[in-house]
Structures are given as C-alpha cells and as structure tokens.
Amino acid sequence: MMNIEKFGEHLSKNLGEVIIGKREALELLVIGLLSQGHILIEDVPGVGKTVLARSLAKSLEATFSRIQFTPDMLPSDVTGISIYNQETRKFEFRSGPLFGQIILADEINRATPKTQAALLEAMEERQVTVDGLTHQLSRPFMVLATQNPIEYEGTFPLPEAQLDRFMLHLKIGYPGLLDEILILEKQREEHPIENLKPVFSGDEVLEAIERVKQIYVSDAVKRYIVELTSQTRKSGDVHLGASPRGSLALFRTGQARAALRGRDYVLPDDIKALAVPVLGHRIILSPAARMRELSADQIVRELTYSVSVPGGDFQAE
C-alpha cells in the first residue's frame, strides 16, 4: 500500500529543486493534487506561477497544456472544434489544449467571462461537450489557473461559479533574500526545470488519490467543517457565503493533509489550517466590509477563532 507521507515528501522535494523556499505553497499544491481539486494562483508576474505548473507536470510524467488567455480568445480555442472533412463527409473533432492532464490556464482573468466559462464542465465533470458530443478527459486531470491581481488593467473578475470550482486559492509571494540569491545561482547556466526528472507516474497518482479517500473523518470534525462553512453565510461582513462545495473541499483537503502527515484520521487542526485557502476565495464581501478594507482571508481567519474547536478522540474505532 502506498505511503502518502513518503509520496508527499518525495514530490515536494522534487518540486523544491525548481521552486525555491515555498514549502507551504508546494504542500497546498500536493494537497490539491491528492484531493482531485483545481488551484487558483493569484500573484504578481514573475514569482514562478508558470514554472510551478510545468514542474508538477514533469514530476508526474503527465501531459502538459498551457492556455494563454487573452481578451479575443473564443471558447472553441480552449475546448476544441468540429471540422468538416470533405473526404469522409463527416465532422471530425479537433481537441483543444484543454485535453491534457496538467492544464495551465495562464492569466485566466484576461479572457472574457464567456471564454472563462468554457472551463466549467471540464473542472467539475472531467469532460467536455462540443456540438452535442461528450469527450472524456484524461486522469489525473488538474487545472492550475493563474491570475493577476484584479486591480491590474485589462482583467475580468472571475464569476462566482468559476471561483467556486477551484478547491484552493494560493499566493506564492516574493522569495526571501537568501532564497532569491539561490535562485540566481541555480539559474546561472540553465533553468533547473530542464533537468527535472519524473518521480511518479499517473497510475501512482491515482493510487495515492484512492488511498487518501480512506482517511477517517469523525462526526465531530464533519460538524466542525459544516459549522465553519455556515458561519461564512451568517457573517455581517459577507454578502455571499461559501456553498456546500466549500464544505466538501474542506473535507477532502483535510483528508489529504492528514495523510501527508502520516495520520489515518483528520484533526480539527487540519481543517483550521486549510480554512483560508479553501474558503477565502468563495465568499463575496459586503459593501461595508469593503469600505473598511477588510479582505476575505481576514474574515475567514477570524471565523476560525470564533467557531469552537471540537475535543475528543478523532481516530477510527
């Protein structure tokens, strides 16, 4: 049986050869992978968002597709298109870049909402429907979307339905002084990603995903998850709270975090640690909260302190 703790250590170490000093971001990436979720990475240009996605694909020996979103892009540029073949007198489907395993949706908020919506079915159901025909996507399938901060010019804010389909929202941030010096040293002759070797196959990833599903979650922890999510709907600073999909995301990521720490059961601390990256992007602030310059992450963090943490034995009997 696969050891998930070793899986996470090996994969994070391999990614760390390219992404320097971002241990927390790498852990969230691995958690998203093991939870069969998609990740939204929001940060300024140049901090390694694209390299992170490419490194994951190389580490897993997975097919990689990059979609560079622009304002003039059409949905068919993402999903593919049916073309009439005059020789066979039939329509043939030409798949788009969405047909891969690790998909980098680069600068997704530069595309129009219509084009952004082309990802919805693929992210939720792992399939694409074009001209009435449904095409299944490969497994594992993961979308890593990057977006520039919304105050940048030429961006379209992601709609609520799109944001809700991302399991995790993370920020990479600038490297520290010593880490940036190490980046300069590592890239003196060539980029370290060029020498990155695969450490796991697709089948091994699928095996790890199935193993994570077996992690035990007690009734007390389930109640804690639901109470935490429901509080986002009751807060006076929130106009629209997290949906039940947010509760499910906390449940799944909690299982993955526990497994990466060598446990076969989830603790409330797992849920508390994941609340901000899982729930922060799912809520819409009230006008009063925006006037007070509160952030969604701040509100979720405050809720983790106000919701009582359950006590007792959380292990399976």
pLDDT tens-digit series, residues 204-247:
999 999 999 999 999 999 999 999 999 888 878 888 888 899 99
Q: Are residues 289 and 198 in the same domain?
A: no
Q: Which two tokens stand for residue 192?
A: 């370290």
- Whether 150 shows a pLDDT value over 60: the answer reads no
Q: Comparing 315 with 279, which gets the higher pLDDT? A: 279
Q: At what angle do helices 296-306 and 219-234 cross, to 10 degrees?
A: 130
Residue 120 placed within a domain:
yes
Over residues 4-57, the pLDDT tens digits come to 999 999 999 999 888 888 889 999 999 999 999 999 998 777 777 888 889 999
Residue 314 placed within a domain:
no
Over residues 154-193, the pLDDT tens digits come to 567 777 878 888 999 988 888 889 988 888 888 888 888 8
Q: Are residues 177 and 222 in the same domain?
A: no
Q: Are residues 87 and 198 in the same domain?
A: yes
Q: Are residues 173 and 224 in the same domain?
A: no
Residue pair 122/137 in contact by the 8 Å Cβ criterion: yes
User: Domain end: 184, 208, 232, which one?
Assistant: 208
CATH number reported for the structural domain that contains residue 151 in this entry: 3.40.50.300
3-state secondary structure of 105: strand
Q: Are residues 147 and 257 in the same domain?
A: no
Number of domains in the chain: 2
Q: Are residues 81 and 152 in the same domain?
A: yes
- What is the chain's mean pLDDT, rounded? 87
DSSP track, 111-180:
S-HHHHGGGHHHHHHSEEEETTEEEEPPSS-EEEEEE--TTSTT--PPPHHHHHT-SEEE---PPPHHHH
Residue 317 placed within a domain:
no
Domain span at residue 289 reads: 215-306
Q: Which residues are within 8 A (CB) of 173 and not within 5 positions of it... i.e. 6 or more apart?
A: 22, 25, 43, 47
- Segment 192-211 shows an average pLDDT of 90
Q: Are residues 163 and 248 in the same domain?
A: no
CATH number reported for the structural domain that contains residue 241 in this entry: 1.10.8.80
Q: How far apart are CA 181 and CA 24, in angstroms?
A: 20
Peptide bond preceding 140: is omega within 30 degrees of 0, i.e. cis?
Answer: yes
Q: Are residues 193 and 101 in the same domain?
A: yes
- Segment 251-279 shows an average pLDDT of 94
Residue 246 placed within a domain:
yes
Q: Are residues 13 and 152 in the same domain?
A: yes
Q: Of the candidates 249, 24, 247, 29, which has an alpha carbon nearest to the alpha carbon of residue 140?
A: 29
Over residues 65-117, the pLDDT tens digits come to 999 988 888 888 888 888 888 888 888 888 888 898 999 998 888 888 888 88
Q: Are residues 281 and 183 in the same domain?
A: no
User: Domain end: 208, 236, 270, which one?
Assistant: 208
- Rounded (5°) CA angle 152-154-156: 90
The pLDDT of residue 278 is 94
User: Domain end: 208, 232, 258, which one?
Assistant: 208
